[in-house]
Amino acid sequence: MSYFTPDRRAQAEELLSLYPKARSALVPLCHLAQEQDGWLRPEAMEEIAGLVGVTPAEVRGTATFYDMLHTEPVGTYLIAICTNIACLLDGAQELLEHAEELLGVRAGGTTEDGRFSLEEAECLADCDHAPCVQVNHRFVRAQTPEAFDQLVDDLVAGRVQETIPPHGTLCRVRRDGGLRVDRQQIAAERAAARAAKASRAAAADEAKPSSGGSS
């Protein structure tokens, strides 16, 4: 039985068909699994490993390399506050302490109700809006304690669901155009590419001088 829901399993198959090598779909599949549960469960990593032909340890090794992938449970809303230099100079440490007090967790922790995780982040590339805050990897510009309180209120009341979906959701609207998967066409193109490669290799072999020369 698949770890993925039927819809997501179909999306997983679609993702796999987009890449010449199944292994290339590893990170997109991790995001797909994370969208399902908000984090990467061990059983998700096992299934992904089977789909792309690597070991579960390799999936875990890849997932733990990327900040956006989580192999431990996180809250519905993952709040990241940058404390790198530009933000630090503009009050990031004070804002982080305020957030810890308001949420009742230290950086790195998750509230008991599972609603919020708080983390200290390195530069998030939005230094001109220091101190920089993200929720579920979306910039929120809550730069003062008052703005931060308002943000938490809005999240609790569900007032910003449209712009900040639960953790793991990469996009709120599935693409309805652009790149489309035609599996038959992709299979035919790959077969043609393999045939052309074999033919080039054969031609190169024929062109090689024979190794059994006379003295």
Residue 143 in contact with ligand FES, rule: CB under 6 A: no
Residue 120 in contact with ligand FES, rule: CB under 6 A: no
In SS3 terms, 145-158 reads as HHHHHHHHHHHHHC
| Nearer to ligand FES among residue 124 and residue 164 (C-beta) | 124
Strands 133-135, 77-82: pairing is antiparallel
Burial of 196 (0-12, 13-18, 19+ CB in 10 A): exposed
Residue 30 in contact with ligand FES, rule: CB under 6 A: no
Closest approach, Cβ 128 to ligand FES, in A, equals 8
| Span interacting with ligand FES, options 79-87, 159-167, 179-187, 188-196, rule CB under 6 A | 79-87
Residue 127 in contact with ligand FES, rule: CB under 6 A: yes
Cα–Cα dist 9/55, whole Å: 19
**Of 95, 96, 124, 135, which lies in the binding site for ligand FES, with binding defined by CB under 6 A?**
124
| Span interacting with ligand FES, options 32-40, 54-62, 78-86, 169-177, rule CB under 6 A | 78-86
CA-closest candidate to residue 133, choices 102, 179, 171: 102
